[in-house]
Amino acid sequence: MKFIVSSTTLLKQLTSISGVLNTSSNLPILGYFLFDVKDKSLTVFGSDLESTMISKIELEKADDDMKVCIPAKLLLDMLKTFPDQPLTFSVDAASFGIEVSSDNGKYKLAGMNGDEFPRLPEMEAASTLKIDSGILFNAINKTVFATGNDELRPVMSGVMFGLEKDGVTFVATDAHKLVKYHRVDCKSSKSASFIMPKKPLNLLKGLLASLNTEVAVEYNETNASFVFENYTLVSRLIDGKYPNYEAVIPKENPNEMIIARDTFLNSVRRVSIFSNKTTHQVRLGIKGSELQVSAEDVDFNNEASERLTCQYKGEDITIGFNSRFLVEMLNNLESDEVRLELSAPNRAGLLSPTEKEDEESIVMLVMPVMLSQ
């Protein structure tokens, strides 16, 4: 059985789905790509059991349908060395040995029976949703950084998709920070919610970054699939009930500061170098139109302080935050100015952009850290 494919096309498609592979798995088959040739079309599968990524390539020539598993790392390493040229893959139906012929020579790889590759889950009783790739990319990009890593609370290690008739909400939290991103230009015919794991979301983000297309989302109680252009991603959902995030977002915040995002971000970055290496605490003291950003590490006698100009209405306040969380959030906002809403030194602060698209709203919550006297 033979088929011919462009080396550059194959390398591009395999590279784009190779992030799903789990090289440290006890199952050797997870270190392989499944090649499924049917009707002059090659479908490549990569899986870590939790998620499966699929890419489709139209072939220049194929003389028969076939299924074979090919070692992923070996194949990728080989393809990276070729200039653009047609490659002929010949597969032995009995031994699953693979011979690749190029302009310069022949290369033999030991394959495995394609039937041993993990099967895709059946999407039974699935609901569907269409979403613009740019919207989905933004939603993932602005939330996935806030997910947690606590194995005891798996629901916090993913992003909650809340689908409603009046819009779609994406929420991520690790109990120290929380991001809620809402779009009104994407609606669902019925109310539903599911929690997508972090790894497949990061893979999706990488693929969607340069695309302008429509994504077909299919989901049921256990799995979700995302289909766009030549790609499909199928992921097992995180089982469990997402925390009541609305309950932790403070509604009354009488103190409001508006400040240039870059100025604030760079100041926190600089000052935090001098902060305690355990708490990463920076202190924000706001008085009138002045913000003082300061940090100290008593153990090493290090300290830093900067004064910035801001717009502020409310009572004078001094509050402490983990600088790493502030930096992450400010990095993931795009407006020139940001708004920080506060109520008390022991209550969460809310960060949001001062200018945004009409169709979107975003709020980032950051928990304070107790100020060391």
> What is residue 132's predicted lDDT score, i.e. its pLDDT?
95
Full-model pTM: 0.92
Q: Count the Cβ atoms, other than its own, within 10 Å of residue 113.
A: 12
The per-residue pLDDT for range 127-184, each reduced to its tens digit, is: 999 999 999 999 999 999 999 998 889 999 999 999 998 899 999 999 999 999 999 9
- Distance of alpha carbon 34 from alpha carbon 67, whole angstroms: 7
Mean pLDDT (the chain) is 94
User: Is 60 exceeded by the pLDDT of residue 62?
Assistant: yes
The residue-averaged pLDDT of 344-373 equals: 90
DSSP state of 166: T
- Distance of alpha carbon 300 from alpha carbon 343, whole angstroms: 32
Percentage of residues of the chain with pLDDT beyond 70: 99
Of the CA atoms within 13 Å of residue 336, those in its CB half-sphere come to 0
**One-letter amino acid of 105:** G
- Distance of alpha carbon 309 from alpha carbon 288, whole angstroms: 9
- Distance of alpha carbon 72 from alpha carbon 13, whole angstroms: 12
The residue-averaged pLDDT of 199-209 equals: 96
The residue-averaged pLDDT of 179-193 equals: 91
302: enclosing H helix or E strand: strand 302-309
User: Is 60 exceeded by the pLDDT of residue 73?
Assistant: yes
- Distance of alpha carbon 356 from alpha carbon 146, whole angstroms: 20
- Distance of alpha carbon 54 from alpha carbon 38, whole angstroms: 14
> What is residue 301's predicted lDDT score, i.e. its pLDDT?
92
In the beta sheet, which residues pair with residue 295?
A: 304
The per-residue pLDDT for range 209-223, each reduced to its tens digit, is: 989 999 999 999 999
DSSP state of 141: H
Query: If you search the block for the tokens 């300290």, which residue do you land on?
Result: 303
Residue among 235, 232, 236 at smallest CA distance from 55: 232
The per-residue pLDDT for range 95-131, each reduced to its tens digit, is: 999 999 999 899 999 999 999 999 998 888 889 999 9
In the beta sheet, which residues pair with residue 170?
A: 161, 181
CB 341 within 8 A of CB 166: no
Tell me the pLDDT band of 353, cut-offs 50, 70 and 90. Answer: very high
Query: If you search the block for the tokens 């169709």, which residue do you land on?
Result: 359
Give me the domains of the chain, ranges plus CATH numbers. 2-116 (3.10.150.10), 127-243 (3.10.150.10), 249-366 (3.10.150.10)
Token digits of residue 23: 């090289």
In sequence order, the 6+-apart residues with CB closer than 8 A to the CB of 110 are 71, 96, 97, 98
User: Is 90 exceeded by the pLDDT of residue 257?
Assistant: yes
